[in-house]
């Protein structure tokens, strides 16, 4: 019994030490948890900031796609349209505000003669041969260049007000194609015939 009494203080000391150790361990664990929680909150804030930045950039990019550049300089300088990339560029230049300006510019060119000839002041022969209004018969579709096409329709409507503008344009483009086919046929028959063609065109 006396041995038990003598051991009690030691047992109490060990129990107290164990309890204090557990308390210290718990405190350390709570500290770690607080640190982890702080890191999670910090990372969450960074993610939210990044998300906001991405949304802002996305909105800016979308707005840039919808903004059309304003036409600069004299629209007359954009004609004739020689290549497909020029066709795309001019179409991109034409906005709701500049549509009338381009229509007036094209009207001036179209009034210089018969439409089957004056259309060459708007488009190069290469464009006229490779395109038609609706993209049929393995040709490219001029209507795909919507802003330019509408301005052209406005211009033709003022030059040929009694006929549907699309019909007038289709006829003019067919005339160019037929003329080119005839020239090609003559050249195939006589390799030097292009000299006569150029001389005749110059006299007309």
Is residue 116 located within the same domain as residue 156? Answer: yes
Q: What is the pLDDT of residues 106-131, one digit of tens each?
A: 999 999 999 989 999 999 999 999 99
Which residue's entry shows tokens 């041995």? 3
Q: What is the pLDDT of residues 188-200, one digit of tens each?
A: 555 544 445 444 4
Task: Report the distance separating Cα 198 and Cα 84, nearest Å.
Answer: 25
Is residue 119 located within the same domain as residue 172? Answer: yes
Task: Report the distance separating Cα 140 and Cα 127, nearest Å.
Answer: 9
Q: What region does 102 belong to: left with phi over 0, alpha with psi -120 to 50, or beta?
A: alpha
Residue 98 has what pLDDT? Answer: 85
With a threshold of 0.75, does the pTM exceed it?
no
Is residue 133 located within the same domain as residue 188? Answer: yes
How many domains would you assign to the chain? 2
Q: What region does 43 belong to: left with phi over 0, alpha with psi -120 to 50, or beta?
A: alpha
Is residue 107 located within the same domain as residue 61? Answer: no
Task: Report the distance separating Cα 134 and Cα 108, nearest Å.
Answer: 25
Is residue 106 located within the same domain as residue 141? Answer: yes
Is residue 57 located within the same domain as residue 79? Answer: no
Selected residue with higher pLDDT from 146 and 49:
146
Is residue 45 located within the same domain as residue 100? Answer: no
Is residue 111 located within the same domain as residue 136? Answer: yes
Beta-carbon contacts of residue 160 (< 8 Å; ≥ 6 apart): 115, 168
Give the structural domain span for 56. Answer: 1-67
Query: Of 22, 41, 67, which residue sits at a domain end?
Result: 67
Query: Of 21, 43, 67, which residue sits at a domain end?
Result: 67
């Amino acid at each position: 019994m006396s041995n038990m009494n003598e051991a009690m203080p030691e047992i109490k000391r060990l129990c107290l030490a164990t309890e204090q150790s557990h308390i210290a361990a718990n405190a350390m664990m709570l500290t770690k948890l607080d640190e982890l929680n702080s890191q999670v909150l910090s990372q969450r804030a960074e993610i939210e900031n990044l998300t906001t930045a991405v949304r802002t950039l996305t909105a800016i990019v979308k707005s840039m796609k919808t903004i059309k550049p304003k036409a600069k300089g004299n629209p007359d300088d954009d004609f004739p349209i020689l290549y497909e990339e020029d066709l795309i560029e001019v179409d991109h230049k034409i906005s709701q505000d500049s549509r009338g300006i381009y229509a007036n510019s094209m009207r001036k060119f179209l009034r210089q003669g018969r439409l089957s000839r004056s259309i060459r002041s708007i488009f190069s022969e290469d464009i006229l041969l490779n395109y038609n209004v609706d993209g049929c018969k393995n040709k490219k579709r001029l209507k795909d260049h919507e802003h330019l096409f509408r301005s052209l329709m406005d211009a033709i409507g003022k030059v040929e007000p009694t006929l549907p503008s699309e019909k007038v344009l289709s006829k003019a483009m067919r005339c160019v194609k037929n003329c080119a086919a005839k020239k090609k046929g003559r050249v195939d028959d006589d390799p030097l015939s292009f000299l006569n063609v150029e001389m005749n065109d110059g006299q007309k």
